[in-house]
Structure 1
Amino acid sequence: MNDKELNNYLDYLVNWIKEEVINANQKGVVVGISGGIDSAVVAAIAQRAFPNNTTVVWMPCESSDLDESCKNDLIKELKFNNLVEVDLYKSFLTFKNELINSGVELSKLALANSKARLRMTTLYAIAQSNNYLVLGTDNLCEWHIGYFTKFGDGGVDLVPLIHMLKRDVRNAAKILGVPESIINRAPTASLWENQTDESEIGFSYDLIDDYLSNKNVANEVKNRVDYLHKISHHKRNLAKKPLHYKELK
């Protein structure tokens, strides 16, 4: 998107969020912030839609010092009216230990994704208590390749950034006044220490942006993106239902 298109789209998203909340007979929205750019952009848009009815939630769970520093920069810069902090570390340890004690063999990724699911449980508890909707933070790149946690950050009510490339999100962050410390940091889901999105995916978001924009990319990029999209289909199509008994032949 060029600057004009992006500005118009951000205005549209503000109004879209308002309309969806009203249509759902709700009063506002809740956003989990991580210290990353996607959640910062969603929180900034949400605040424009509902200045007095947006709750932003910081949920540390083995979060890094950089996560917290960026979160503090965001709060200081955008001055949210309603900030909630819920430390999930002890809850996560209890959950982890109970699973281990039960004899379940946990993979590293499954355990890491449990953090995202605990966070989403927290957001929905807050949302339901206030008659709010939960806003997701996944962008087009993440959604297309399935780079999100099923029933974690993928389990939300509204996904404002789902049509925005990563570069669009970065440009939107500048327009919305997101701090440079967040814009310039390496994207990370903070699943474990020193984890970054691009090292886990295998290449940069810029290359995914290019491919999804129909630009020429190396075959290895195209093949990898297509593969990730295919194997993550189940994440984007939840709760599949069987045929009705009258449909059986």
Structure 2
Amino acid sequence: MTERPGFDWIIPAPQAAQGCCDFLRETMAASGLKRVVIGLSGGIDSAVSAGLAVRALGAENVHGVYLPYRTSAPESLADAQAVAAKLGITSELREITPMADAFLADVPADAAVRRGNVMARCRMIVLYDVSARERALVLGTGNRTETLLGYATLHGDAAFALNPLGDLYKEEVRALARFLELPAAVLDKSPSADLWEGQTDEDELGYTYADADRVLHFMIDEGLGDAQLRSLGFTSALLADVRARVRAQAFKWLPVPYARVLDRPMPDDAWLARKD
């Protein structure tokens, strides 16, 4: 069997960190605000996003929020608190169980995805309220792999004001976590949205993020067809699943369509930058 390609194509961590931090500084300067609020899950993505924000904006301008549900793994909260302590940021605990359960009473217990979406949206309601209180912007944590595969909840974890990780694959986020010297527990744990007991991202997907990263890079970034991808060692089943997910989930990242009756223009960057 052909050995699958490695990760020699990923962005070096110092370069990725510089690009992400430049983006954060420029975007915050344009917003007129100084602070960001981030939901800290205890996972690698939120830890890296927070770490980059501290590097770019200073720890005093980053506020973390822990948003557990009653079925959340206890170690998730402990890991999130370890990240906040490592980064030296302020933080608070906001339990979402009461607000989520009020809605979930009408959602069947076996409707795991629906229930998970409710929890993700409850978390974002809290984050946006905290951001209003703090006069801050909500910082996103989703990476390119999750975005392309649609592994996010609209108006949940896919809702944010700015996101430093959106152009980075999961393996590039892992490299950044090592570069930022984040706690080992965060680096080593299995990725999980922690939406129900025992849930892991890779179990849900049916393959590893490492495989997803490689397929997405060569399929989308390099534009290789299936025959070329199979010659690199990827199975037809894996390629078919990834391609189907990208196509089916594109609505989550494409602009929301609306009727263009007169095709009126929206203000562009040049118009917004005008001083008159």
Q: Quick check: TM above 0.5?
A: yes
Corresponding residue for 2:78?
A: 69
Query: Are residues 1:113 and 2:117 paired?
Result: yes
2:67 paired residue among 48, 59, 62: 59
Which blocks of at least 5 consecutive residues in structure 1 are unaligned? none
Give 2:19's aligned amino acid: Y
Corresponding residue for 1:188?
A: 192
Q: 1:147 and 1:3 mapped to 2: Cα distance?
A: 21
Report the aligned-residue RMSD.
2.0
Query: Are residues 1:30 and 2:37 paired?
Result: yes
Q: 1:164 and 1:225 mapped to 2: Cα distance?
A: 17
| Contact residue 31 and residue 43 of structure 1 kept, 8 A | yes
| Identical positions, percent | 28
Corresponding residue for 1:14?
A: 21
| Contact residue 78 and residue 177 of structure 1 kept, 8 A | no
| Contact residue 77 and residue 177 of structure 1 kept, 8 A | no
Q: 1:242 and 1:163 mapped to 2: Cα distance?
A: 29
Corresponding residue for 1:243?
A: 260
The alpha-carbon deviation at position 14 of structure 1 amounts to: 1.2
The alpha-carbon deviation at position 9 of structure 1 amounts to: 2.0
After superposing the two structures, state which structure 1 stretch, 189-198 or 68-77, moved more: 68-77
Query: Are residues 1:92 and 2:100 paired?
Result: yes
| Contact residue 33 and residue 57 of structure 1 kept, 8 A | yes
Q: 1:226 and 1:17 mapped to 2: Cα distance?
A: 31
Which blocks of at least 5 consecutive residues in structure 2 are unaligned? 1-7, 219-228, 265-276
Q: 1:246 and 1:222 mapped to 2: Cα distance?
A: 38
The alpha-carbon deviation at position 168 of structure 1 amounts to: 0.9
Q: 1:36 and 1:74 mapped to 2: Cα distance?
A: 9
The alpha-carbon deviation at position 231 of structure 1 amounts to: 0.8
- State the number of aligned residues: 241
Equivalent runs, 1:97-246 vs 2, <5 Å: 97=105, 100=106, 107-214=111-218, 216=232, 217-245=234-262
Give 2:45's aligned amino acid: D
| Contact residue 64 and residue 84 of structure 2 kept, 8 A | no
Decide which structure has the larger Cα Rg and report it: 2
The alpha-carbon deviation at position 238 of structure 1 amounts to: 4.7
The alpha-carbon deviation at position 64 of structure 1 amounts to: 0.7
Normalising by structure 1, report the TM-score.
Answer: 0.90
| Contact residue 21 and residue 27 of structure 1 kept, 8 A | yes
Give 1:146's aligned amino acid: G
